[in-house]
Amino acid sequence: MTNGNWYDAVVVGAGFGGLASALELSRRGARVALCEALNYHGGCASTFRRQGYAFESGATLFSGLSEEQLFGQWIRQHHLDVTVDWLDPLVELRTPDLRLHVSRDRERFLAQLCALPDAPVRGLRDFFALQQQVANALWPLFDDPSLLPPLDVRALLRHAARSLSYAPLVRWMGRPLGAVLERFGLPRFSPLRTYLDALCQITVQCSAAEAEAPFALAAMDYYWRGTGHVRGGIGNLASALAGAISSLGGEVLLANRVKALSPVPGGWRVSARRGELLARHVVANVLPQGMMRLLDLPPERQPSHLRALAGRVSEGWGAVMLYLVVRAPEGASPSAHHLELVQDERSPFVEGNHLFASISGEADTGRAPEGHRTLTVSTHVPLSALASRPGEEQARLVSTIQDRMREGLERLAPEWMEEVRHAMTASPRTFERFTRREGGAVGGVPRRAGLHHYRTPSPRPVLDGLWLVGDSVFPGQSTLATALGGVRTAARIATVR
């Protein structure tokens, strides 16, 4: 660490928002230090070790891994030692009455829906045609960050050339996905409703009926946009990115929690566990409430847009987790796989009713003993449900949810629960302790229908030289989106540096 020497930028936190910012700044020749409180990288998208086992901490299935997409490009350009396994099916949805395989081929998936009893085939085909148009309009913005604001002349010309492709989404801006389903006569076709409620809950973080239609229609392509499994765990990609930052001359400082940020002439003083750093810019990969804590400002001096963003984050979710080591059932596929389990499709897809269970593959060596696999299982809990309860009652609610999760696994994925060798749990409190996310808030701002989502797409500093990245800022809400936000912020800093 260079005490007293100035950095162009200090990045606080090595989640995917911070890793992406630090990598992009280093690629652009900036002198960068990346401080991470934990002794491993990745935050909510990391792989942690306990008692000889290795689990995904939160995120388990990643898009953007194709060669032409952001992660794929980084893997190729920086020769990252990362292997992607392309799974098929990507996910299996199970309810007491339904089994749906989400295959890599969208036509095959659609054919499966159309072949279900009483399927409204015409409506389904028309709905998926619109969905594809909207996804084709929006996903290129994810694949090429320069198409998002601030726009230069080249980007404006490219948008003008694609302007017709935006027409199908304009009609649905500010309206819920539920209205699109009505339009195509689909709201009562329960297999599609169940699939969409499950997908919306893990992507745009609310039910299909509430979700902002263009975001939800684009999120439906999530499984078909370079989506795969990072062999060995997502932590491998996170540490490979940290390695690339170091190769470009950046300093990656693990176990170096940042305690405070204070303005000094020409930049910022970053007070961290292992000493002080001075930087022209600080990029904080924290929640807005974390930024306010690091600034230690009295309420009347806190930037109002930061306070408003913190409010929207706290209207969202925490995660309740099970981490299991289980014996692989006889004849189990050797590849990693993902199960989405819904116990009752008429109840909200939260609090143990809906589970996302990710199972490691045989090739994920070192994560579980031979013949065994690790499972990372998550469900949503509304932060408001926790905040309104005293500590003891919160713990009781979390434990009830974890019981419900175990019941769901035993009922809908019994083959994986025959021999549980090891079990651990986590709650929003655990996320708060490890990732320092206030209240354990994860998943960003829910994208419920409204035009306000389109208001703040351009990265702007919170205060002069101080920037916020992570899943609470646009485009947020997945490992890829968070990384993309980090790249855009770094590009913006490069223009003002």
Query: Residues interacting with ligand FAD, by CB under 6 A?
Result: 12-18, 35-38, 43-45, 58-62, 257-258, 285-286, 290, 319, 378, 435-437, 442-443, 470-471, 477-480, 482
Single out the residue of 62, 48, 68 nearest to residue 230, CA to CA.
62
Residue 181 vs 353, nearer CB to ligand FAD = 353
How far, CA to CA in Å, does 136 sit from each of 21, 109, 208, 264?
A: 26, 18, 20, 46
Nearest distance from C-beta of residue 430 to ligand FAD, angstroms: 11
* Helix, strand or coil, per DSSP, at residue 492: helix
Residue 124 vs 230, nearer CB to ligand FAD = 230
Nearest distance from C-beta of residue 256 to ligand FAD, angstroms: 7
Nearest distance from C-beta of residue 259 to ligand FAD, angstroms: 7
Nearest 10 degrees: CA dihedral of 322, 327, 332, 338?
A: 10
How far, CA to CA in Å, does 281 sit from each of 32, 173, 482?
A: 10, 35, 19
Residue 41 vs 130, nearer CB to ligand FAD = 41
Nearest distance from C-beta of residue 255 to ligand FAD, angstroms: 9
Residue 176 vs 443, nearer CB to ligand FAD = 443
Nearest distance from C-beta of residue 263 to ligand FAD, angstroms: 17
Nearest distance from C-beta of residue 288 to ligand FAD, angstroms: 11
Asked if 404 and 436 count as a contact pair (C-beta separation under 8 A), the reply is: no
Single out the residue of 1, 62, 428, 485 nearest to residue 238, CA to CA.
62
- Using CA atoms, how far apart are residues 239 and 253, in angstroms rounded to an integer? 12
Residues 6+ apart with CB under 8 A from 460: 492
- Using CA atoms, how far apart are residues 249 and 182, in angstroms rounded to an integer? 54
Pairing verdict, β 91-94 and 84-85: unpaired
Nearest distance from C-beta of residue 202 to ligand FAD, angstroms: 7
Residue 254 vs 397, nearer CB to ligand FAD = 254
Residue 42, token pair as written in the block: 């990745």
- Using CA atoms, how far apart are residues 108 and 438, in angstroms rounded to an integer? 42
Residue 17 vs 352, nearer CB to ligand FAD = 17
How far, CA to CA in Å, does 146 sit from each of 109, 402, 480?
A: 32, 43, 15
Q: In what order do the strands lie in the sheet with 99-102?
A: 99-102, 91-94, 337-342, 354-359, 372-382, 317-327, 420-426
Taking residue 280's Cβ as centre, other Cβ atoms within 10 Å add up to: 18
Residue 328 vs 445, nearer CB to ligand FAD = 445
Identify the helix (H) or strand (E) that includes residue 243.
helix 234-247
Nearest distance from C-beta of residue 354 to ligand FAD, angstroms: 12
Nearest residue to ligand FAD by CB is: 15
Nearest distance from C-beta of residue 223 to ligand FAD, angstroms: 11
The DSSP secondary structure of 303-371, one letter per residue, reads: -HHHHHHHHHHTTSEEEEEEEEEEEPPTT--SS-EEEEEES-TTS-S-TTSEEEEEE--TTSTTSS-TT
Nearest distance from C-beta of residue 343 to ligand FAD, angstroms: 18
Asked if 61 and 89 count as a contact pair (C-beta separation under 8 A), the reply is: no
> Based on C-alpha coordinates, what's the Rg of the chain?
22
Nearest distance from C-beta of residue 13 to ligand FAD, angstroms: 2
Residue 217 vs 381, nearer CB to ligand FAD = 381
Residue 21 vs 181, nearer CB to ligand FAD = 21
- Using CA atoms, how far apart are residues 425 and 428, in angstroms rounded to an integer? 11
Residue 47 vs 378, nearer CB to ligand FAD = 378
Q: Environment class of residue 52 by beta-carbon count within 10 Å: exposed (0-12), middle (13-18) or buried (19+)?
A: exposed
Residue 193 vs 437, nearer CB to ligand FAD = 437
